[in-house]
A and B are shown apart, each in its own frame.
Chain A
Amino acid sequence: MSDQATQAPVKAQSPQAPVKAQSPLSEAWDMFKHNHAAMLGLVLLVIIILGAVFGPYLYPGEPFEMVWAPFTPPGTDGYLLGTDYLGRDLLAQIIHGSRVTLIIGLSAAIVTVVIGVTIGALAGFYRGMVEEALMRFTEFFQVLPTLLFSMVIVALFGASLPMITLAIGIVSWTAVARITRSEFLRIRELEYVMASRASGASNAKLMFKVILPNALPPIIVQSALMVGSAILFEAGLSFLGLTDPNVISWGQIIGSNRQYILESSFTVTIPGLAIFITVLAISLVGDGLNDALNPKLRKR
């Protein structure tokens, strides 16, 4: 609509060149496409996800099976990434571990978003005592030391994957709740919300159909970054041994090899690199989403 400025206001009605109906979403994708760093992140992420989904079929190795001598350096005897302290194939471990790592990252982020958006939306929409109570509740969770709290949950209820996911979700939803609340506080005062009210929209409709879609961009960005931090969190917990020993994850590989970090550092470095690249890719995508979904940065 840049031709608007040059057009005489009196002619505002006169037919212009037909404009394609472009939704805010497709505009965001246009913006995202031209962001090289974000596209690099997206490509990396797609490769990682494809590897996690199809890898076990392309490289059928058992992650828990001892296949060769321990501490075989990468590239020797046909083992691309070498073997760990028990002589297990590291490449097979990385491939199988990526599934668990990604699933935990994603589902912990979903838990985070569900709790955070619900609490933030209610607090921001209803204000008053509801907001007061919910935000004090949020602050209570914010002041707890997160790693310690999640360790307590896992230690008490067992180190199964769902419990680890839940523990990560419970300690990290507060940021999403605060962002959602602040967006709701801002948007509820805008005229189109009042216009919807004048059109007879119920509170539930205002909250979820009018305000929430407009509040989504920062929430999407935050939850994308949340996937990365959940992966790091899971790695931290596994490193401390708080993990399901029957399921392999990247953090667990690092944790179990940590005693041999000086003799054969590659057993720790390789899964560490895998985590680093994945979290970096997610952060790049999250950053790109932030730029693409933030209307203030558009057309700059």
Chain B
Amino acid sequence: MSELLEIENLSVRFPLRKSGGAFGAKTYLTAVDSVNFTVKKGETLAIVGESGSGKTTAALAIARLAAGETTGEVRLEGKDILPLSQDDLKAMRRKVQVIFQDPYSSLNPRQRAEDIVREPLDSLTDKTSAEKDVIVDELFAAVGLRPEQKRLFPHQFSGGQRQRIGIARALSTRPEVIICDEPVSALDVAVQAQILNLLRRLQADFGLTYLFISHDLGVVQHMCDSVAVMYMGKIVEHADRISLFANPSHPYTAALLSAVPSVDARRREETKRILIPGDPPDPLNMPPGCRFASRCPVAEARCSQIEPELKPVADGQSVACLLREKG
């Protein structure tokens, strides 16, 4: 299968003003730092990481929605979308849609459900009103909402129903890629399962490619073909799902996996929790060398001097760690 989405050296930085007021020198907070990855058509790539690791910013930058200064290349079907002008963006937006994290704030409270789902059609396509009606009806059925709910307002829906509206909206232009920005983290567990199963079914029905942002490794294991682990704006490990969960190569990944609670008593005893002490480094004053060095349980002296690069260690598994480098 071909690479649908190729991300090369993607960086996002936010200008910050120092206390000197309007004339003070600018400093930058680099939220995403030279990130590389690819997503194959029809697959799901998960980006996991803790809060502030830059995973959402990276995803929004790919949808051209990040507020900061974005550099690098984001190629969709071989075409770089970052330099596109406002007019050319429309074609790209038809192909890349987003499902947002919080269904309580991602729906405009003054729009009816059908108008919310219709909005991308209105802004991005030239379809006639009748064609749009048909599409909206189909989408309501596809995401499991009843036709008579079309006229309701967002506050009249439950959280899971709201997220279904958000999914219908993302599907309306028949996109290639859907960026799911923690689509279930605001929902309770039973509803999470329904929404995840819906997303999987829609992926099969519509041939969708997902970029799935999450911090919940259980959800990731259920949903994804491959996983990229981010820490402080960098990808520290990129592997297919089975390799990553069976054999985490980066100490940070190992620590993350060990933190997943298990109901299985035997597994619980087998996997010793790896604690990572301390706080992440100050993003405004990033230390040299490996960003995880200060909290890493197996760090050596060279780790805080040399910055590791993402290098393949096995088939379908790359890691940015000096200790895993061969030779």
Contact = CB atoms under 8 A, between A and B. Distances in A.
Ranked 6 nearest A-B pairs via Cβ:
A200-B123, A191-B106, A199-B120, A21-B151, A9-B190, A200-B124
A78 interface: no
B90 A200 contact: yes
Contacts of B60: 194
B119 A196 contact: yes
B19 interface: no
Interface of A: 1, 4, 8-10, 12-13, 15, 18-19, 21-24, 132, 190-192, 194-202, 205, 210, 213-214
26 contacts: A1-B157, A9-B160, A9-B188, A13-B144, A21-B152, A23-B153, A24-B109, A190-B105, A191-B101, A192-B105, A192-B107, A194-B100, A194-B106, A195-B98, A195-B106, A196-B108, A197-B65, A198-B63, A198-B93, A199-B169, A200-B89, A200-B90, A200-B93, A200-B94, A200-B120, A202-B123
Contacts of B22: 132
Interface string B94-116: 10011011100111111010000
Nearest to A190: B105
B247 interface: no
A12 B89 contact: no
B161 interface: yes
Contacts of B123: 199-202, 205
A198 B97 contact: yes
A195 B102 CA distance: 11
Contacts of A4: 158
Interface residues of B, number: 43
Contacts of A15: 146
A146 B278 CA distance: 56
Contacts of B93: 198-200
A203 to B, nearest CB: 9
A4 B120 CA distance: 29
A21 B108 contact: no
A198 B95 CA distance: 11
Most chain B CB neighbours (cut-off 10 Å) among A132, A194, A197, A200? A200
Given A1-B156, A8-B190, 8 more contacts: A9-B160, A9-B188, A13-B160, A22-B153, A191-B106, A194-B106, A199-B169, A200-B93
A298 to B, nearest CB: 9
Contacts of B222: none
Nearest to A25: B110
A260 B215 CA distance: 78
Contacts of A10: 190, 194
Contacts of A192: 105-109
A10 B108 CA distance: 26
Nearest to B145: A13
Interface string B262-283: 0000000000000000000000
A21 to B, nearest CB: 4
Contact of B194 (A13, A19, A23, A190): A13
A247 to B, nearest CB: 41
Contacts of B112: 21
A18 B227 CA distance: 42
B108 A12 contact: no
Interface string B28-65: 00000000000000000000000000000000100101
Nearest to B103: A191
A234 to B, nearest CB: 34
Nearest to B191: A9
Most B Cβ at <10 Å: residue of A8, A12, A196: A12
A203 B155 CA distance: 26
Given A213-B110, A214-B110, A12 B160 contact: yes
B131 interface: no
Contacts of A9: 160, 188, 190-191
B109 A214 contact: yes
B148 interface: yes
Contacts of A199: 93, 119-120, 123-124, 169
A137 to B, nearest CB: 16
A21 B153 contact: yes
Given A132-B22, A191-B100, A199-B169, A18 B148 contact: yes
Contacts of A8: 190
Nearest to B192: A9
Nearest to A213: B110
A191 B156 contact: no
Contacts of A214: 108-110
Interface in B141-167: 144, 146, 148, 151-153, 155-158, 160-161, 166
Contacts of B98: 194-195, 198
Nearest to B99: A195
Interface in B207-230: none
Contacts of B106: 191-192, 194-195
